[in-house]
Amino acid sequence: MLPTNALGELQGIFAADALTTDAAECLVYGYDNSRRQAMPDAVVFPTAHDQVVALVRACRTHRVPLVARGRGTNTTGASVPASGGVVASFERMNRVLRIDADDRIAVVEPGVINGDLQAMLEAQRLFWPPDPTSAPFCTIAGNIACNAGGPRAVKYGATRDNVLALRAVAGNGEDFRCGTPTTKGSTGYDLTRLLVGSEGTLAILTEATLKLVPLPSAKRTLRATYANVGAAAQAVARIMAQPVTPCALEFLDDQCLALARTHGGDSIPLAGAMLVIEVDGEEGSLAASADAVAHAARGDGLLELLVAGNRAEVDALWSARKALSPALRTLSPDKINEDVVVPVSRVPELVAATRAIAAKHALLVVCFGHAGNGNLHVNLLPRDEDEKSRAPAALDELFDAVIRLDGTLSGEHGIGLAKRAFMPRAVDANALALMRAIKAQFDPDGILNPGKLL
């Protein structure tokens, strides 16, 4: 429960309809897509930068935990108020402030939905590259908090590569701006890139300047099936070693295909593994780009290579990927989805390691994801209590294998609560100490999203 004086100060900042302590209403803001849950003591709905400054200062004065929240699509528990306190939901701070086509930037408030922004930009033949699966629902600030990616990241980069400037309020209550609306800059420490991926532990964002990209005039979609996962993984390495960078390179193993087929029908092929590949660009050069990628996709173990000729065929080639998530949820409500990442050249070794772990622990483990930048979603699918008891040891070995392959714990989901205990394996002790010192500088009393990441 909030101290009476703290609640009184919050009531002075937020109107009655912008603050709630009702338990039923607070419950909705206490969980995210990780299935973790905790109860906040209050939820507030900021609409302006100055309100956020006052909110942070009030929480610091009264030593009240403060968690910023978008739409709760995070899968690691990063937006769960594990220590209670106040949740600041930014659903009402959702304006697109400016789109400047000449400078290829958009200036937005934190609560803008990714998909809504993309729809606005499309009319000007522009887009913002991050395209996570949750794009129709997730917010820009949420994307920034966990450095979201998606299929397009293989060519256009993840969120960190597409944010130019930020306005924010640090945990000490001081507001600041960092970055510039330019694609080049070398003026001091890069605080913008530091804040991206910090999961709301350093500062609360109130404005973001985003780097936009012109929409390509054309796209080609290819689907390659292989006799086994090793052959597909080797093809990924070949594709990424040649000059044409695909705008999407998605990998599905045989288990994924079988599961997707049960939901998506017979149009989904049965094979040892599959790649869905897209290239984009100008119409005149696209055929040559598609040919180059197709040439790299060919090799030992290739079963079939298809090129879509129209929109219906594109949808058919993507059908397996789109049918996969519902299939996994149906099979295992307790699935553990880890978005590990390794160098692209070591994707074959990562796939082999997951197979060995699955066999050792007698668990169903499926792999899919953004193979073009080595980011695979390794899903452990325990189906009963016995399998659930074996899953933690399998997960432990998975992270060890990833780090042994020069990889890291997360490519786009972040750390949150789910992977916090594994951070000392991925980051050396001196680097962790520097991270803690940075946290203390921004947030000396530890009020911002306590218990996450570090």
- The pLDDT, as a whole number, for residue 378 is 93
Give the residue from 313, 229, 213 showing the smallest Cα distance to 272: 229
Domain edges within the chain: 4-89, 96-214, 216-329, 332-413
Give the residue from 59, 41, 53 showing the smallest Cα distance to 447: 59
- For domain 216-329, say whether CATH 3.30.70.2190 is its number: yes
- The pLDDT, as a whole number, for residue 326 is 67
Nearest 5°: the CA angle 134, 89, 47 is: 115
Which segments in the chain show pLDDT lower than 70?
A: 326
- For domain 96-214, say whether CATH 3.40.50.970 is its number: no
Residues in the chain: 454
Domains 96-214 and 332-413 alike in fold: no
3-state secondary structure 340-393: EECCHHHHHHHHHHHHHHHHHHCCCEEEEEEHHHCEEEEEECCCCHHHHHHHHH
Assigned fold of 4-89: 3.30.43
- The pLDDT, as a whole number, for residue 332 is 78
What phi, psi does 408 have (nearest 5°)?
-145, 175
Q: Which residues of 429-454 are buried (b: 16+ CB within 10 A; e: fewer)?
A: eeeeeebeeebeebbebbbbbbbbbb
Helix (H) or strand (E) holding 249: strand 248-253
Q: Could you report the per-residue pLDDT of 195-230, keeping only the tens digit for each?
A: 999 999 999 999 999 999 999 999 999 999 999 998
CB atoms under 10 Å from CB of 421, counted, come to 11
- For domain 332-413, say whether CATH 3.30.70.2740 is its number: yes
Place of tokens 């996450």: 452
* Rounded alpha-carbon distances, angstroms, from residue 407 to 165, 327, 347, 400: 28, 28, 10, 10
